[in-house]
Amino acid sequence: MQAAHHVSLKDYNTFGIHVFAEIFYQITTEDQLTKVLAAHKDQELFILGGGSNMLLTQDINSPVLHIDLKGVAVVSETEDEIILKVAAGENWHDFVLFCIDNNYGGLENLSLIPGNVGTAPIQNIGAYGVELKDCFTSCTAIHIKTQDTHTFSKEACKFGYRNSIFKNELKGQYIINSVNFLLTKKNHNLRTSYGAIQEALDAKKIESPTIKNISEAVIAIRQSKLPDPKELGNSGSFFKNPVVELDFFNAFLDKFPEAPFYKVSDTAYKIPAGWLIEVAGLKGNRINDAGVHKNQALVLVNYGNATGKEIWALAMKVKDTVYKKFGITIEPEVNIF
Ligand code: EPU
């Protein structure tokens, strides 16, 4: 397979950062994937999915493999449930809409999340009370060095909050090529308890919501808070919500009784990084074209011509300012290259 050379990655990352890939492969079949892997087996590779969870701070000299495998197939089906096998290069939101159109329930709360199906398990994408792992049954992945295909069960993936084995023990070792989802065909398990969803449904006087109603509510909520990457480059939440221990949390709450929080366990509490950043005074802050979003401080944005280095400098300013004010370290959720 022929590579393209000196390709701008601006249209391949949702931050819209203009850096170059010296060697670029658009992979549309598994056969191409194994051949390209074999041809470069002694080199570092750069695997690119939907480009929605990365900040590019420099040109990429390693060969870039853009995983563009497509297809949705039925693995098995009963009256109540269906298992779908979805190729890694399918756009996540398009797949969610396909499920809604076919009345397959489970993923509706994950509407409008940028990125592709194949990269969703890596960070166990989540929103509005649901995580990918709730509908995930298995995935297949190709080992980069040996080109062997492995199947990973849900347990094997070791999913956690924005986390999986693919970010830890197996980091950089596999390319996920397909993901299997178990979805409901009736008696859907609707999750409306996340505050804003119920409010959106109440506002429309919907008492017995369908999965389509929930999807539409989530889309409306996300559109009201989160910038559309097509209009304003961004990578969703730039930071993870920090988790703090009970003693620290109690002292923190004494000082900031109005702070929102989620209980993680009897000894651990999660504090929204967006709130910390806003109260630290950085919402709407800007360095050239790199900015902290004006409606959701957890999101960093590219107003047009920001470089990856400028966004990273802003991220470090945010991290330092939050630490100075609260003594809490916030870590990026996005991958930095
Ligand atoms: N908040 C502020 N100011 C802000 C942003 C948030 O005060 O600028 C407060 C909100 O008022 C609320 C709390 O922080 O009390 C939490 O905010 P929100 O419900 O918007 O959720 P989040 O914690 O900021 C997380 C995920 C999002 C996901 C939403 C909804 C992480 C890092 N982020 O955000 O995920 O959509 O919950 O479930 O866990 C993503 O990963 O790209 C993403 C957008």
Domain end marker among 120, 154, 184:
184
Atom of ligand 1 nearest to the CA of 260: 15
Domain of residue 116, CATH code? 3.30.465.10
Alpha helices in the chain (DSSP H): 30-39, 92-101, 154-157, 195-203, 211-225, 246-255, 273-279, 308-326
Centroid of ligand 1 to alpha carbon of 272 (angstroms): 6
Q: For the sheet with 290-292, list strands across it.
A: 233-237, 299-302, 290-292, 286-287
Q: Does the Cβ of 115 fall within 6 Å of ligand 1?
A: no
pLDDT band at 1 (very low <50, low <70, confident <90, very high): confident
Indicate whether 299 belongs to any domain.
yes
Indicate whether 142 belongs to any domain.
yes
pLDDT band at 282 (very low <50, low <70, confident <90, very high): very high
Task: Give the DSSP per-residue string, 213-260.
Answer: HHHHHHHHHHHHHS--TTTSEEEEESBPPPEEEHHHHHHHHHH-TT--
β-sheet bridge partners, residue 76: 83
| Token pair listed for 324 | 């100075």
Same domain, 40 and 101: no
Centroid of ligand 1 to alpha carbon of 308 (angstroms): 23
Indicate whether 220 belongs to any domain.
no
CA nearest ligand 1 atom 36, residue: 127
Q: What gap in Å lies between CA 201 and CA 164, rounded to an integer? A: 32
List all residues 6 or more positions away from 329 whose beta carbon is below 8 Å from its beta carbon: 242, 319, 323
Same domain, 22 and 86: no
Centroid of ligand 1 to alpha carbon of 57 (angstroms): 25
Q: Does the Cβ of 123 fall within 6 Å of ligand 1?
A: no
Mean pLDDT of 159-168: 95
Tokens 């916030």 sit on residue: 330
Indicate whether 199 belongs to any domain.
no
Number of domains in the chain: 3
Domain of residue 49, CATH code? 3.30.43.10
Q: What does the pLDDT read at residue 194?
A: 83
Indicate whether 225 belongs to any domain.
no
Mean pLDDT of the residues in the chain: 96
Indicate whether 104 belongs to any domain.
yes
- Give whole-number Cα distances, 291 to 101, 133, 296, 303, in Å: 36, 32, 11, 7
Q: Does the Cβ of 278 fall within 6 Å of ligand 1?
A: yes
List all residues 6 or more positions away from 31 whose beta carbon is below 8 Å from its beta carbon: none
> With 90 as the cut, is the pLDDT of residue 167 above it?
yes
Same domain, 172 and 267: no
pLDDT band at 25 (very low <50, low <70, confident <90, very high): very high
pLDDT band at 12 (very low <50, low <70, confident <90, very high): very high
Point out the residues that are catalytic: 162, 237, 333
Which class for 81: exposed (0-12), middle (13-18), buried (19 or more C-beta within 10 A)?
A: middle
Q: What does the pLDDT read at residue 14?
A: 96
Q: What gap in Å lies between CA 24 and CA 85, rounded to an integer? A: 27
Q: What is the pLDDT of residues 27-72, one digit of tens each?
A: 999 999 999 999 998 899 999 999 999 999 999 999 999 999 999 9
Q: What is the pLDDT of residues 91-120, one digit of tens each?
A: 999 999 999 999 999 999 999 999 999 999
pLDDT band at 84 (very low <50, low <70, confident <90, very high): very high
Q: What does the pLDDT read at residue 132?
A: 98
Residue to substitute in 269, 298, 318 for testing ligand 1 pocket (most ligand atoms within 8 angstroms of CB): 298
Residue to substitute in 54, 123, 222, 237 for testing ligand 1 pocket (most ligand atoms within 8 angstroms of CB): 237
Largest Cα–Cα separation, the chain: 62
If phi over 0 gives left and psi between -120 and 50 gives alpha, with beta otherwise, what is residue 6? left
Centroid of ligand 1 to alpha carbon of 317 (angstroms): 20
Q: What is the pLDDT of residues 133-158, one digit of tens each?
A: 999 999 999 999 999 999 999 999 99
Indicate whether 80 belongs to any domain.
yes
Domain of residue 270 covers: 233-336
Same domain, 49 and 79: no
Domain end marker among 166, 184, 202:
184
Q: What is the pLDDT of residues 183-207, one digit of tens each?
A: 999 999 999 988 789 999 999 999 9
Angle at 335 between CA 239 and CA 31, to 5 degrees: 140
Indicate whether 214 belongs to any domain.
no
